[in-house]
Amino acid sequence: MPGERDRELVESDRPSKKAKVSANGSAPEDNPYLAHMYAGGSLPSAAKSSRYGGSAGQDHFAGLTRHTTTTEQAQKLEDGPLNPFTGETLSDTYFKILKKRRDLPVHAQRDEFLKLYQDNQILVFVGETGSGKTTQIPQFVLYDDLPHTTGKKVACTQPRRVAAMSVAKRVADEMDVVLGEEVGYNIRFENNTSSKTILQYMTDGMLLREAMNDPDLHRYSCIILDEAHERTLATDILMGLLKDVAKRRPDLKIVVMSATLDAQKFQRYFGVEENKFNAPLLAVPGRTHPVEIFYTPEPEKDYVEAALRTVLQIHGTEPEGDILLFLTGEEEIEDACKRLRLEGDEMQREQDCGPLKVYALYGTLPPHQQQKIFEPAPPPAREGGRPGRKVVVSTNIAETSLTIDGIVYVVDPGFSKQKVYNPRIRVESLLVSPISKASAQQRAGRAGRTRPGKCFRLYTEKAFKTELIDQTYPEILKSNLASTVLELKKLGIDDLVHFDFMDPPAPETMMRALEELNYLACLDDDGELTHMGRSASEYPLDPALAVMLIASAEFRCPSEILSITALLSVPQIFMRPNHRRKEADQAKQLFAHPDGDHLTMLNAFHAYKGQDPGSAQKWCQENYLSYRSLSSADNVRNQLRVIMEKQGIDMESTSYEDRNYYNNIRQALCAGFFMQVAKKTAQGKGYITVKDNQDVLLHPSTVLGQENEWLVYNEFVLTTKNYIRTVTSVKPEWLLENAPIYYDIDSFPKGEVRTGLQRTMEKLARKQKQDRRRG
């Protein structure tokens, strides 16, 4: 009975203390990540014959003892003529690359690195950009760790997929092996590794997922956390976890790599525990060109105006070289580009300046347009004229994710959009805020990649020194932690309050997350993981979405909820190009469902799936739908479906002809999103959120009018006004039935919501009475 689901899970699924076997809840034999350790006997010996010394079966590492090797020994092996890992003859390209590798700054400190690596379990390594740390350190480790003799691997984590892929490719080339064999990468949707793999680049999130099934990370002999200074949620949790794993697994080595000198913080973090780990720090300089920094003498009141003025001034007076300007968002950037183009043309006409080519760059731009920024600067307009110049106006995507060579001038107004989380109303929003000193440095560095450059900071030197914070707040302090807490529980961390976070989140944020998970029946009243919680943790989703997916079987609509969940996990599928808004809105109306946006998205997805694969892309374009988002939703959907099937969830949906088809879906939405509900206010056009009592408006993108009394919403967006976005109308009975604990009338303050719920309860009671009389 759907109506009893909540209570049932909370009460009957509380794990008995006896039943709790291991910290992660799964026996190692069932663990998919450890399968290689049990399949057909012991892998290490098998690995030796297949990996060790290649076809000839000769051990090219003979005479070397693990964790006592020297640079000299490693270099001798690297010098060939045979590849010690494959036994093949090394290629000419290999030697060409080897020569360049030996010139990298890290190389000068290989001895020092090896010594510290061998003498310590945990090591912190600081290498600035251009030091070669990401490609070289893992190779230094390989020649000392000799992973092929232990059957274990070396892992190197990256915050971004593209980085994991491209670095793996580079290192495979450097080692003269085929990508996916000895060197591979593992990212969501793509595991390019094999049984031969000894070095694996992967996303930090992927390693965290693995840890949830194998908390001791038995597959690895060494874990390198790269770009730790970026402090992603996954890196932060992995650091806390690895600190613990290190105690349980003395054979595991950990290298934490960071680009900033803030690495002392990492060192302290790994060093405190009874001095068990010394976590020494090794720093290697980078190789970049000097960048001259200029500040404004007075604060600027309008940073966009100041930025445009500065760009044009550079164009008019500075020698050849491209410009990178940092602004905060799409609209601001497009607007700035328009104005720069106009002014640039005018300068060319009136002052005989070189031509100015302006490019916008931000994340939601389609890839082919992002690629355009790599076009070279335009040539002089006429023979002997002044050289042309390229200006890229970008969000902070150009700060870390994308590197543009040839930038000589950086204009930094000192702002970016940053996420802020308000635990009181459980809302994440984006705010234009001053950047950190570290960000400012990173931005300036972008000017010195190919030759000496200049950075114009549109704030005073005093402001830089006294007003900017040192580092941007780590992700963990800016996020809703519901899924993080669920992950930690699954990782076997029982005492979250005392979990050793590098930066502990606010207690209120933790409390909110625990409360949310309790309402979702993922944690019981003692904070223990329930059966539902354990199931939900298997999905790479927000807990509310995971719970909705699991509950969908009860409402006979798993297939539809699967699609909706996937659609909610990808960027917006409805496109709205600036000058074709009207056409786009009309196209969307074709898919509109009277009950709301979730169902509208589902209609569009079904229509997309009905297309011929060969013409789907064209069809999307004609209908103002994002092909990229839809096909990525399809990918996500498949991944989620596999997990559902593995959990034995009944995947049968009611047929489309059934009169309850859409009602079932709307009820299932309530099962996950009962905490994101708004009720229409009495006096007209506004809505009010249930429990938090926030006044909100329907986002103008919705297909719904103002007539619906109760809505579930996917998102609360705080911009000029408070909006709820992606909404579907529901019946209040469904809320009371599906989440009786959350909708306990007595917990509501007196007001419209309470009165509305009260009326619904009375209605339900009357109906029950009638039914009884009739029955």
Among 20, 247, 721, 767, binds DNA (CB under 7 A): 721
Among 109, 416, 653, 726, binds DNA (CB under 7 A): 416
d(CA 291, CA 449): 9
- 184-210 exposure pattern, b = at least 16 Cβ within 10 A, e = fewer: bbbbeeeebbeebbbbbbbbbbbbbbb
3-class SS string, 216-245? CCCCEEEEEECCHHHCCHHHHHHHHHHHHH
Cβ-contact 51, 198 below 8 angstroms = yes
Question: Given the rule CB under 7 A, which of 88-96, 158-166, 340-348, 687-695 is the region that contacts DNA?
Answer: 158-166
Cβ-contact 123, 280 below 8 angstroms = yes
- Of 279 and 476, CB closest to DNA: 476
155 binds DNA (CB under 7 A): no
End-to-end C-alpha distance for the chain, whole angstroms = 19
Give the three-state DSSP class for 767: helix
- Of 250 and 700, CB closest to DNA: 700
Question: Given the rule CB under 7 A, which of 336-344, 396-404, 452-460, 501-509 is the region that contacts DNA?
Answer: 396-404
540 binds DNA (CB under 7 A): yes
159 binds DNA (CB under 7 A): yes
200 binds DNA (CB under 7 A): no
State the DSSP string of 41-90.
Answer: S-HHHHHHHHHTTTTTT--TTTT--TT---HHHHHHHHT-SB-TTT-PBP
Among 67, 160, 218, 289, binds DNA (CB under 7 A): 160
If binding means CB under 7 A, how many residues of this protein chain bind DNA? 46
Task: Classify burial at 686, counting beta carbons within 10 Å of its beta carbon; exposed 0-12, middle 13-18, buried 19 or more.
Answer: middle
Among 576, 691, 731, 754, binds DNA (CB under 7 A): 576
326 binds DNA (CB under 7 A): no
Q: Give the x-and-dash track for 355-374 against DNA (CB under 7 A).
A: -------xxx----------
Residue 471 beta carbon to DNA: minimum distance, rounded to whole angstroms: 14
Residue 419 beta carbon to DNA: minimum distance, rounded to whole angstroms: 4
Q: Which two tokens stand for residue 83?
A: 């590849």
C-alpha of 596 from chain center: 28
d(CA 599, CA 711): 13
d(CA 332, CA 303): 11
Give which of 172, 176, 198, 200 is closest to 187, Cα–Cα.
200
480 binds DNA (CB under 7 A): no
d(CA 345, CA 352): 10
Question: Given the rule CB under 7 A, which of 197-205, 294-302, 607-615, 665-673 is the region that contacts DNA?
Answer: 197-205
Residue 342 beta carbon to DNA: minimum distance, rounded to whole angstroms: 22
Residue 673 beta carbon to DNA: minimum distance, rounded to whole angstroms: 17
203 binds DNA (CB under 7 A): yes
477 binds DNA (CB under 7 A): no
Among 572, 611, 617, 654, binds DNA (CB under 7 A): 572
Residue 557 beta carbon to DNA: minimum distance, rounded to whole angstroms: 22
Q: Any idea what DSSP says for residue 181? A: T
483 binds DNA (CB under 7 A): yes
Restricting to residues 653-712, name those near DNA by CB under 7 A.
Answer: 699-701
Residue 38 beta carbon to DNA: minimum distance, rounded to whole angstroms: 23
Give residues in contact with DNA (CB under 7 A).
Answer: 159-162, 187-188, 203-206, 209, 232-234, 328-331, 362-364, 395-397, 401, 416-419, 430, 483, 540-541, 569, 572, 576, 581, 585, 699-701, 717, 719-721, 723
